[in-house]
Chain A
């Protein structure tokens, strides 16, 4: 993984000192809350329902064992002994004290981490495919480019006060595992006809209040032009994006208002005019950063059958919670943060420590956070899988449900977030309880369930095969269901099936929807494909509980 050089370390150290001073001034009354707010936000610090919330950056989801241990240590010393992994591959602490935050950031800096630009109207943590570097279907590893973008975007003098937040995702694989089409900018690594590497560039995707799918602004951008082109996009956006209405301030609104052709013209003109002043990205710099992401020193192994003669639960875990690896004899292993006893994405300090140790033993000391709120040990020799499973089972991290209904995404919702309209965690629990039968989950097959507690869509509900959105109805929590969304393959936004349902009805409604699916599916047809084939109508007709009088 990338290691800081003197520049990176000097930068984060200066950043910690700056925030220490800003926090001191705020606590001394020299900086009002209004003045402090944009500064703390750019250091990941929100003021939430119960306490401040600190969002720690995990650039493109990659962590070393030492970093994960440090996170465990921080949650023990400054929080309540657990953290919450998010859909931007970050980690949130829900109960830190404001006055402790500078110290937490100083601790993070000792392991080459920070919380810079994890919130605020600036370029956020750049995300990537969680199988980057090991996926069999990959053109090139996206992470070096993520790291380059991270550095370029960090305290960018021109683009740190944008109209609104700005999210970039990079993928190098045929299958989009980074939801890149619902990002402000999505970058797909591709090769042109002559074999040169570059990017297909998408712009104007995003979820939130007005969900939109990104459009191609450039079919092929040479790698060396990456930063110059991003600057052109951001400059057009910074100058012309709306600032009068927070709900219309994302770049997607500007792209839609201008049309992609006009927007492309503006960006191209800006790009051409800035040639002399835009940052260059020499191939030597790309190679320098790429050298940190070389393939691991793998053993020469052959694929083996590790499931024969083993217990069914291990076989199920192998099938659902491990993935193919580019190198024979290895598998990628999901560390499941979706056990039916836990909040999706939550992890205790003890679990973090144990997974760090496991990663050191069997996966080159590296851990990845996924945008689905799980972790991945990416490079596990197949001969170790049974032992890894046993270890994870003991930790409560081996629930064999990855890719199934209960491997759901949920934002923290009303329990923690001051923006939320409705709870998500008790809805998640309700669903976990009702769908506790693994055979039933397996029969339902691949389903992406995504829950958001408000329109801001941190839970990505629009692109869930099934999406659940919490809404506030006269002070009560109700839930609106959407079907048919997807963020991989053909990206699509889900369709609302009808009126929202009260909280206690969510899991039952879901079950009725899934029964419709079981009734009309073709053999081996995924839920999403059935919805695409038959539309939402049959689901809508049966989703709502029959009125007692009519039954």
Chain B
């Protein structure tokens, strides 16, 4: 692959070896190919696993078993990874869960884990940072979801859910799981994966493109002073910055790998990426329809604190 990138850069585009432009173009081609192959593979695997889970099934698992509340939180956060989720479904999902008698805190554990640990983020994290960082991201995300959910549960905040939520009569239809053959699952998975990549590829390319530009023109370590581990406010700043950047999560992860080279510390980078995926402005606007402002603020506050603590922790451990 590196040979292919070299070939394109030096032979096809005829850019002189060793120039800044060559470095940028070469990096861009190599990275793009690598990231898309890995992204495709990982999204495909996760999507395939997801054909076995549905929110309806998750709801039934969480509501029918009268299990220990802590186990319910852990289960909810784990199911958040494997259940397909899109932020446009956050409201019906929230109502469906609450109506089924799932405790508010457990519902939040799910709602925090589902968008944070999603297939695009995982694919891109693995492609850009490798297995270790992807695993750290998933584990921290799960722990934040579990702890934040438990806290929200303990605070007894049911009164801050919009009143109409409890009045809605949800049709008591026993959900008929569509019968699927392996072949159908595979073709559905492939279709979904292709659709998803079609949707995000432009953001990924722009992210890699900006990264490549920085790679060619800005020297390694240039950001170390302002965003390195010695700046105590970098983590908080990174978390706040991530909130409005939701729709570009796909473009941000490739860019963050470049920030790393420029000297942004790992914990700060993790905080930034978690904030981008877990705290999204459009999702908050949607959730406002079912949550009163107080609960929405508590939700953002607790998750935000969790992300910030994670950032400091990994700045200490990983540097």
Q: Do the two chains belong together in a single complex?
A: no
Chain B residues packing against A (C-beta within 8 Å): none
Interface residues of A (CB under 8 A from B): none
